[in-house]
Amino acid sequence: MRRLGLKHGLFLLCLLAVTPHCAHLLYLPQERASEILTTMTEEGWQLALHHFPATGSGPRRQFPVLICHGIMSNKYNWDLTDQLSLPAHLARQGFDTWAVELRASGHSQKPGPYNQLHWDYSLDDYVQYDLPALIDFVRGHSGRKQVHWVGHSMGGLVLFGYLQRVRQDTIRSAIAVASPSYLLDHNHNLNFAMDMARSLDGVFKPVPTGTVSKMGSFLAGSPLLADMRIIWNYDNISPSTARLAAANAVENISPRVVAQMVSPLAGGPILSADGQYNYTAGMERIQVPFFFVAGMLDQLAPPAVVMSAYQSVASTDKRLAVLGRANGYRRDYGHVDLCLGETAPGEVFPLLADWIIDHD
Amino acid sequence: MTRGSQGRLWLGCICLALLGSACQRRLPAGEVQVLSSLRVRQYPQTQARGIVLLVHGLGTNGKVWNLPGLGGLAGELWRAGFLVYSMEDNLPYASLTQRARDLGNLLTQLSARHPGRPLFGIGHDLGGTALYLVAAHKLGPLDGIVGIGAPLSNVSGTQALAHLARVLGQLGSLPVDWAYLRHQRPEGFPKSVDFVKSLLSVGLPSRRLAVFFRQVSSTLSLAAIEDLTAGTGILADRSLVQALARQAPLPILALMAPADGLAPPWQCDPAVLGLRRDNIERVYFTRANGHENEYNHLDLLLHPAAEEDVFPVVIEWLEKI
């Protein structure tokens, strides 16, 4: 009996170990980038840039575009299928486009047994090391002094930080899609998840969000729990996209980043890891042309929060769009379906492209 | 199990269901009175645990609380033991300020009529806003307010709302209701998007929507729409919230829906607008919060799922207060 239990236990362990890899193989995304280049941060992290050179017979645009994923994600956040690919869309519009990956995401370097890197980086490291390395690399490659930036969720938040703490003259124009400048306690399920994250602070290193998501990707096609609607609006995302995204677009992450995102009390500001710098208060320093996009049903960055960021920045050239039926869109958008929703290629991508074209 | 015994089992179930519904206390028709120049329906109650005044919103009437043949919050409150008054006055009012003054007088009269009993105001849409104004400017006595999709500010309305204001502005003083507006299409709205539905309800069952358009929809007032958009300044910026913050800490329950096109949460949530207190509770009704429906403006009162999702929250809060 004991031997049987041990056997079963070992079998279960093996199964758990291979499940994420099975999910990855079962839901295999295709690659569209023409090349993947890398650059190195000042403190030695290798970062990946997926290059989508301008295509099509239309005019070639002046400034390159960098597209950045959100928290716990990678370039599949914006480039999952032929249809659901903002980089490919912008490349067809004549832009030299780069889907970039922050440290420990996607093709960028991850901490492991064969390097000296650790799962202890913070949001501040993205701001002060990753963004300067990525932006300077593309500026050097294209020979242009400025770039356009499109960030989803934390991909916009890290740009807020870069503009506040590093420099502003390298950014031609910016788009923050569903990027919060503070967190709102409006969703019971999200509040519960944040309380859980706080109580588990330091238990996991890294936080195994990617592993869990891969293991559960078989089930991601339908909302088994209400909590799953925090991520996207299931009315606007196909089951196959949901499974593909769960298997490929979610990454493990440093607990310090999670702590920084969940530590603010209700309505409180987002602070640096040492608590000395206030990213929320610093929004008023931002002066570059800025386009803020929110989803009507977004639970992570609800319109009220995005609106606050829009109102805070000092930019004279700024715009806000809330994507929902009441504003003439076909769907009420959630957090991730602003990038991967069924209607995103027809409604969101042209909206973003038009802003960038107008500011090129 | 034989077919005969199966049949008897079904018959038993049906009888039990019928008996259950018959045992449920039916809301009486109530009696309409004129109090402080307002028409008010009173649903009689012996041994009331508290007094509740229901105030409907823009372009609706008192039936929004008790949809003919389908029920509503009025019945649930009455069954929970509250003495319920519901405003029946569906004339387009001059302005929010005037409506707030009328409500203040009405509440003063109700308080005198039922001394020592707690007096609550529950308002939907601008009905809730008028109650907030009563509290903010001390126009009448209140022990608590429930605002259901009730805007506290007119910051950044939706395009559908702006279009509504434009249409009403063009029509001037001509009487218009929601049913008429269904034929209007704002510029840039795709054909698949019905702008009145996107403002009010996308998911309301067609039977209920038909009852709404036939019986609940009433004349829209341009003055009130101006309050909601730019004009009068009552809702501009955070002035109402700031006025509320200056008053004694009145308990507030703010209910709202992320998909609400007429009164979105960024206009209704006191915390978003800078008013955060222990006795202010906020609930967002959305499937992401575990609710049955993706609620919109009307759904908060008229959707069948509101009986499970919304009404118990209101009653529990009133009982707690």
pLDDT for position A265: 61
Alpha helices in chain A (DSSP H): 2-26, 86-92, 123-125, 131-142, 154-165, 188-199, 209-215, 239-248, 255-262, 303-312, 337-340, 349-358
The per-residue pLDDT for range A4-26, each reduced to its tens digit, is 576 666 666 666 566 666 666 67
Residue type, B143: D
Going by C-alpha positions, the residue among A179, A213, A244, A207 that lies closest to residue A30 is A244
Task: Determine contact: B271 vs chain A, CB below 8 A.
Answer: yes
Answer whether residue B291 shows pLDDT above 80: yes
Chain B closest CA to A275's CA: distance in Å?
A: 23
Distance separating the N- and C-terminal Cα atoms of chain A = 71
Chain A closest CA to B282's CA: distance in Å?
A: 7
Q: Does domain A2-358 have CATH number 3.40.50.1820?
A: yes
Q: Kindly tell me the sign of the dihedral angle through the C-alpha atoms of A101, A102, A107, A108.
A: positive
pLDDT for position B46: 81
ipTM over 0.95: no
> Which is it for strands B51-55 and B119-124: parallel, antiparallel or unpaired?
parallel
pLDDT for position B121: 96
Distant-in-sequence, close-in-space partners of B213: CB < 8 Å, separation ≥ 6: B178, B179, B182
Residues of B in contact with A189 (CB under 8 A): 288-290
Residues of A in contact with B262 (CB under 8 A): 326
Asked if residue A206 has a cis previous peptide bond (ω within 30° of 0), the answer is yes
- Report CA Rg, chain A: 20
pLDDT for position A23: 64
The DSSP symbol for A284 reads G
Contact B265 A303 (CB under 8 A): yes
Contact A303 B192 (CB under 8 A): no
Residue from the list A226, A267, A302 with its beta carbon closest to the beta carbon of B258: A302
Alpha helices in A183-326 (DSSP H): 188-199, 209-215, 239-248, 255-262, 303-312
Alpha helices in B24-123 (DSSP H): 73-79, 96-113
Going by C-alpha positions, the residue among A141, A146, A184 that lies closest to residue A163 is A146
pLDDT for position A124: 96
Which residue in B has a C-alpha nearest to residue A302's C-alpha? B258
> Can you give the residue ranges of every domain in chain A?
2-358
With both helix axes pointing from N to C terminus, report the angle between A255-262 and A188-199 in degrees, rounded to the nearest 10: 130
Contact A266 B198 (CB under 8 A): no
Which residue in A has a C-alpha nearest to residue B187's C-alpha? A328
Contact B258 A297 (CB under 8 A): yes
- What is the dihedral angle through the alpha carbons of A99, A341, A266, B248, rounded to the nearest 10 degrees? 140
Task: Tell me the domains of chain B and their CATH numbers.
Answer: 27-320 (3.40.50.1820)
Q: Tell me which of A192-196, A307-311, B57-61, B161-165 is least confident.
A: A192-196
CB B212 within 8 A of CB B298: yes
Answer whether residue A204 shows pLDDT above 70: yes
Task: Determine contact: A354 vs chain B, CB below 8 A.
Answer: no
pLDDT for position A1: 47
Task: Determine contact: A230 vs chain B, CB below 8 A.
Answer: yes
Question: What is the rounded distance in angstroms from the CA atom of residue A316 to the CA atom of residue A318?
Answer: 6
The per-residue pLDDT for range A253-266, each reduced to its tens digit, is 998 888 888 876 66
Distances (CA, A) of B226 to A206, A311, B243: 53, 23, 20
Question: What is the rounded distance in angstroms from the CA atom of residue A96 to the CA atom of residue A65?
Answer: 6
